[in-house]
Structure formats: C-alpha cells, structure tokens
Amino acid sequence: MIDFLRGQVAHMEPEYVVLDVQGVGYRVFCPNPYAFAAKEADAVTIYIHYHVREDATLLFGFSSREEQKLFRKLIDVTGIGPRVALGILSGGSPEHVVAAIHQENIAFLTKLPGIGKKTAQRMILDLKDKLEGLGETTLFSSPQLGEQAADDSAIPGWPEAREGLKALGYTDTELDRVWQRLKDDIGPDEAVDLVMKKALKLLYAGL
C-alpha cells in the first residue's frame, strides 16, 4: 500500500496531478490540484489514500496527514464514496467541514458537492464524536463558521479556485475583492478551472 509519494508535478488537470517519482508518472486525484501550481519546479510530498476496486486502482492525494485522515473518516460514512469525499474537501476547507459537523450545521454541509440533507445528517451522526483527538492542528479545532466562509461555500468551485490562486501568490485581500465582483457571475455548477479563469481575468485587469 502507498502511504505517500514524493516527486515533481509533471502535469496538472482540474481533478488530478501527475507526479513524477523517479521517472514514473502517478496520476493522483486531489481536492485542489492547483494548490501545487506554485511548487511545480520543486519536489512535493503528497499523502496518499490507495483505493482498489474491481475495475481500477486509484490514488487520492492530500497535502497534509490531517486532510488524509479526514478523507478516510468521510468514506466510512454510508453513502459517501471516495469521489464524493474528494468533492467535500474541494467544496469547503477541511477546517470548515469539521466545524460544520461539530456544530451540526446542515445548511453548510448541504452546500457541498454531492451532499443532500440525509447525507449531511448521516455525516453528523457518524462523525461528530470521531473527529476529536485525530491531531492537534487547527484542522480539528472546530472554529466557528464565519459569514464569509458560509458565503464562499455557496459556489462549490470557489474555495478550490481560491486555494489555487493563493498558491500562485495572490493575497487574501485581493481574493476577497475579486470574490465580491465574481460571486454574481458564476453558477453553482461552474467548473473550477473556469472559475479560476474568470478570477484571473479580473486580477490581470488590476481589480
């Protein structure tokens, strides 16, 4: 079983990166492939969940151990498979997902890709008492969800696009300003790469 891979990002798509590890290219599906955009010239470590099914062997990758652990907790919930769990982590930051579960915030959870009311209730029931003690980082500290975080999550593609833009060097202030202009021009099902293109167009214009 593969626990982590270390290599250079050789290729990037909206759903995955190809990591070159000593001449072998591994396709790794990630919540936010664009988070690695600023590190393409450097060696990166991606923590892996190795998933085997009848017709395929898939690698799911994360930038931290805590994110890897949360993903594994999510796929233990009935009705949540690896793809849906990946969508959850791409639609909202891990800190906010954990906070929403602890606070039983169904409104926030149902805004995440692939999550309906029944699945959100099941997430709370199954995970609320299982996220403590998994680590001492801020990922599991259950911060209160602010208005900005809830507002951002209304467009599932934006949190992932925002992380990608931050990896390119844009500041929170710049991204908050772009979001205010962008939020009325993108739909709830807009692809992450298209959201990034619209945001970059505004940033290049000097917004």
Task: Please state which CATH class domain 155-204 belongs to.
Answer: mainly alpha
Q: Nearest 5°: phi and psi at 148?
A: -65, -40
The CATH 2.40.50.140 domain(s) of the chain lie at: 4-62
Task: Return the pLDDT at 152.
Answer: 52
CB atoms within 10 A of CB 79: 12
Query: Using CA atoms, how far apart are residues 207 and 195, in angstroms rounded to an integer?
Result: 16
Q: If you count DSSP H runs as helices and E runs as strands, how many of each does the chain have, helices first?
A: 9, 5
Task: Please state which CATH class domain 65-148 belongs to.
Answer: mainly alpha
The CATH 1.10.8 domain(s) of the chain lie at: 155-204
CATH classification number, 4-62, choose in 2.40.50.140, 1.10.275.10, 3.20.20.70, 2.160.10.10: 2.40.50.140
pLDDT exceeds cutoff 80 at 104: yes
Q: Do the beta carbons of residue 131 and residue 101 sit within 8 Å?
A: yes
191 or 9: which carries more pLDDT confidence?
9
Q: Do the beta carbons of residue 160 and residue 91 sit within 8 Å?
A: yes
Contacts of 122 by beta carbon, 8 Å cutoff, 6+ apart: 77, 78, 79
Query: Using CA atoms, how far apart are residues 203 and 110, in angstroms rounded to an integer?
Result: 30
pLDDT digits (tens, 9 = 90+) for 115-174: 999 999 999 999 988 886 543 344 444 445 544 444 555 566 778 778 777 777 777 777
Query: Mean pLDDT throughout 59-86?
Result: 93
State the pTM of this model.
0.67
